[in-house]
Homo-oligomer: A and B are copies of this chain.
Amino acid sequence: MSQTLARPVSNLIELLSRLPGIGPKTASRLTFYLLREPNGLAEALSTALAALSVGTVLCQRCFNIAEQSPCPICADLSRDQTLICVVEEPMDVLAIERTGAYRGIYHILHGALSPIDGVYPEKLRIAELMERVRVGEPREVILATNPSLEGENTAAYIYQQLQTSGVSITRLARGLPVGGDLEYTDEVTLSRALEGRRSM
């Protein structure tokens, strides 16, 4: 096979296969698509990929990916700077921003605790969060890590660390997803939804 494929082609297929969710077949399909695509998409992608690390920095306050530090959210004084939402990844910020329901600021951990994968507290931006809380004295920290084992452990760990700080600590509500079906909801989610029931 190697003999029949031009090296630039097999090289791109190999690199694309390293991306999550992209196997060798998809990688081939994308490569040959790029080869016949007439509008310079390959060149545009090449430039965009080169700009990715050069053109971005981590906001030194919330650790979101941004063009400059502080990021536009941290620099926006119309937002509530005393409300910090703690998330695992930059993509979580996007998800919350899309709701339009949040006007505070963020703190991105860049992962969740997972000792089995070697992700200990030192690997995450937890110390930086402690420092922010100590210096900035926010009124509330919302722990918006994922409702997964790692996310729950991370939230529990941060909760322990912040307990003595006097700040109000909340966690996103657990319950039935909107548009979901009670019949098909798993037992754990349903238990949480029952526990968290509110008067109408």
Q: List the B side residues contacting A91 at CB < 8 Å.
A: 28-29, 32
Q: Are B49 and A49 in contact (CB under 8 A)?
A: yes
Judged by a CB distance under 8 angstroms, whether A110 is at the interface is: yes
Given contacts A32-B91, A51-B11, A97-B1, contact A56 B16 (CB under 8 A): no
Q: Is the CB of B44 within 8 A of A15?
A: yes
For window 58-100 of A, CB contacts with B under 8 Å fall at 64-67, 72-73, 89-91, 93-94, 97-98
Give chain B residues whose Cβ lies under 8 Å from the Cβ of A35: 52-53, 56, 65, 90
This chain: how many copies in the complex?
A: 2
Query: A6 to B66, Cβ gap below 8 A?
Result: yes
A45, B49: Cβ atoms closer than 8 Å? yes
CB pair B34–A52 under 8 Å, yes or no, is yes
Q: A36-B110, A45-B15 are in contact. Are A51 and B8 (CB under 8 A)?
A: yes
Q: Do A29 and B20 contact each other (CB < 8 Å), given the known contacts A1-B98, A7-B67?
A: yes
Closest-CB distance, A89 to chain B (whole angstroms): 7
- Chain B residues lying within 8 Å of A65, measured Cβ to Cβ, are 6, 9, 32, 35
Q: Please measure, in the bound complex, the distance between the C-alpha atom of A32 and the C-alpha atom of B19, giving whole angstroms.
A: 11
Q: When chains A and B are docked, how far (Å) is the Cα of A11 from the Cα of B91?
A: 15
Contact status A42-B32, CB under 8 Å: no
A contacts, CB < 8 Å to B: 1, 3-9, 11-12, 15-16, 18-22, 25-26, 28-36, 41-56, 64-67, 72-73, 89-91, 93-94, 97-98, 110, 183-184
Given contacts A3-B72, A12-B52, A49-B49, 18 further A-B contacts (CB under 8 A): A1-B94, A1-B97, A4-B72, A5-B94, A6-B67, A8-B48, A11-B51, A12-B51, A15-B44, A21-B29, A28-B91, A32-B65, A35-B65, A36-B110, A42-B49, A42-B52, A42-B53, A45-B49
Residue ID in chain B nearest A67 by CB atoms: B6
